[in-house]
Amino acid sequence: MHVAVDGSPLIEQPNSPSSLHLIEWLSALHSAGAQVTLLYPQGVLPPFPTEIGTLALARREGAWSRLRFEQRDLPRAAGELQADLLLVGEGRAPLASPCPIVTISSMGGGPEARGLAESLAFAAGKAGSRGASAMLYPSDLGYQSGRTGYPPFVARAFKEGAPEGPEPYFLCYGFDRRDIPLILSAWTWVDGSLGDTYPLTFLGAGPMLTMEIESMAAELAIEASVRTQPEVSFSNLPQLYGGAAAYLGTAFAADGQALRWALAAGAPVVGLKTPDFESVLGAAAYLVPPGESRMLGAACLTVLVQERVSDPLREKGRQRADKFTDEGVGTVLMELLKEVVKPGRG
C-alpha cells in the first residue's frame, strides 16, 4: 500500500507534540511494509526516519498559501503519485481528492487562524474532514461518533529510561498559550521552596511564546526557576521525558499523546480534572480542577516532596503504559487503512 501523508505540520510547527507524533505514525506504517511518501511545502524538515520517502511541493507565499496547499497541491500530488490513500490531520483535509482521505485527530489543529484566508482554509479543512473516508482517533479516549478507534501507541524508546542529567526538572510540553498565566501562577507556590532544585522547563515554545513566558515569569519574580527549550526532536524527546522529575500537562496536546509519553517514561503526572485527561490518565495522575492555580501549584509541590504520592503515581503510570506499545502496531494501523480502500469504500 502506498500512503501519501501531509507533512506540512513538520514545516509549520516542527517542535509541537502533533508533529512529533506524526513521526511516530510514519515509523509505524513503514515498519508494517507500507510505502510512505511525505508531501510537504518546500522547507527544511526536522530529523525523521531516513527511509521515509519525501516530495517537496512548491512553497507558496502569502495569506492564501495554506488554502492552496491543502485544497489543491496536496491532493493533486497524491493523485500523481497514484497513492492508495491520503493521510492528513483532522481539520486539514481537502474537499476533493483522487484517492481516499483518512484523517487522524491527534495530528489535527495547526497554527491559529488569523485573517480571512486562514479562516477560509480552516473552514475548508473542517468540511473536508467531515467528508473523509475515515476519521481515526486513539481508542483510550472512548467512543466518538463517526470515528474509528486505533490502539494508542508509544515508541519503545520512552520506556527505556534516560541517563541521569545534571539536574532534575519539572517538564511542561504541549501547553496552550492561554494556560501560561495559570502555569506560572501555580509555579509561584513551588518557586520559593524547590525552584532552585527543580526548575520548570517549557519545551517546544517558539521565539514569541518564549518571550511571553520569560516576561511573565519576570513579573512574578520566578524567572530564576523557569527555563525554556524551544527546539526538540523526536530523537531526543524520550531522553527529555526520561530526565524529568515530573510532568505538568494543562492542554490536551495531540489527543493526549504528550501525556502518554510521560506515563511511558515513568514521570508522575500533574494535570487537569477533565473527561479527556481522566480518560487517558485514569488514576495514574494527580488531577486538579481547571483554572485553580493554587491547587495546581500544591499538586506540583506534592509530587516533588511526598514519595508516598509520587511513587504510586509512577507505578500506576507504568502499568497503564504497558498497554501502549509500538510492537506490531503498524500492522494494526495498516489493516485499518486497508479497510478504507476496499472496493466500495471511500
Same domain? For 179 and 135 the reply is no
Q: Examine residue 346 and state whether it is found in any structural domain, yes or no.
A: no
Does residue 222 lie in a domain region? Answer: yes
Q: How far apart are CA 24 and CA 22, in angstroms?
A: 5
User: Which pLDDT band, with edges at 50, 70 and 90, does 346 fall under?
Assistant: very low
Q: How far apart, in whole angstroms, are the C-alpha atoms of residue 137 and residue 142? A: 9
For residues 68 and 125, membership in a common domain is answered with yes
Helix (H) or strand (E) holding 86: strand 85-89
Q: What is the pLDDT of residues 327-336, one digit of tens each?
A: 889 999 999 9
Backbone torsions φ then ψ of 311, nearest 5 degrees: -65, -45
Q: Are residues 144 and 175 in the same domain?
A: no
Domain of 75, CATH number, reads: 3.40.50.2000
Do 207 and 140 fall into the same domain?
no
Task: Please report whether residue 345 resides in a domain.
Answer: no
Among 7-11, 159-163, 318-322, name the one with the lowest average pLDDT: 159-163
The total number of structural domains that make up the chain: 2
Do residues 17 and 111 share a domain? yes
For residue 278, the enclosing domain spans 156-321
Is the distance from CB of 183 to CB of 300 less than 8 angstroms? Answer: no
Residues 203 and 192 in one domain: yes
Together in a domain, 217 and 138: no
Q: What is the mean pLDDT of residues 289-315?
A: 97
Q: What is the pLDDT of residues 90-120, one digit of tens each?
A: 999 999 999 999 999 999 866 666 788 888 9
Residue 122 lies inside a defined structural domain of this protein: yes
What pLDDT is recorded for position 113? 62
Distance linking the first and last C-alpha atoms of the chain: 16
What per-residue confidence (pLDDT) applies to 163? 65
Report the candidate in 188, 192, 218 with the shortest Cα–Cα distance to residue 297. Answer: 188
53-64 mean pLDDT: 86
pLDDT by residue (tens digit) across 175-213?
A: 999 999 999 999 999 999 999 999 999 999 999 999 999
Q: Which three cell numbers stand for residue 192?
A: 520559593
- pTM exceeds cut of 0.85: yes
pLDDT value of position 344 = 57
Q: Are residues 304 and 163 in the same domain?
A: yes
